[in-house]
Amino acid sequence: MENVFSLSPIDGLYTILLCVLVGIEVIRNVPAILHTPLMSGSNAISGIIIIGGVIQLLENDLGLNFTTIISCFGVLIGTINVSGGFFVTHRMLKMFKSSKN
């Protein structure tokens, strides 16, 4: 049980499988008025791709070369996606606050 808690040799697949199912289930029954906020939220999540850029920046040498610039730009653009996504979602959701029921 130490560092590794693995149930079976193909746990990765279980994980992905279940992840897909969760994703489907989460959205499936959402009232349509929330479609746009949800899309926006999940769009922001997909900005997790900046982690890739971060890893690239962290692992490569930091010279002022083409790749570094592209990576930096990528992370910047990606962050705009993430933060913008969250802010937009936030603004949309504020509308529901006044809902009484």
CA distance 4 to 42: 30
3-state secondary structure string across 59-83: HCCCCCCHHHHHHHHHHHHHHHHHH
Give the nearest distance from C-beta 58 to its own copies in angstroms. 18
5 makes contact, choosing from another protein, its own copies, none, with CB < 5 to 8 Å by partner type, with: its own copies
Near its own copies in 22-61, by CB under 8 A: 22, 25-26, 28-29
CA distance 92 to 35: 11
Binding residues for its own copies, total number by CB under 8 A: 21
Farthest-apart Cα atoms in the chain, separation = 57
93 makes contact, choosing from another protein, its own copies, none, with CB < 5 to 8 Å by partner type, with: another protein
33 makes contact, choosing from another protein, its own copies, none, with CB < 5 to 8 Å by partner type, with: another protein
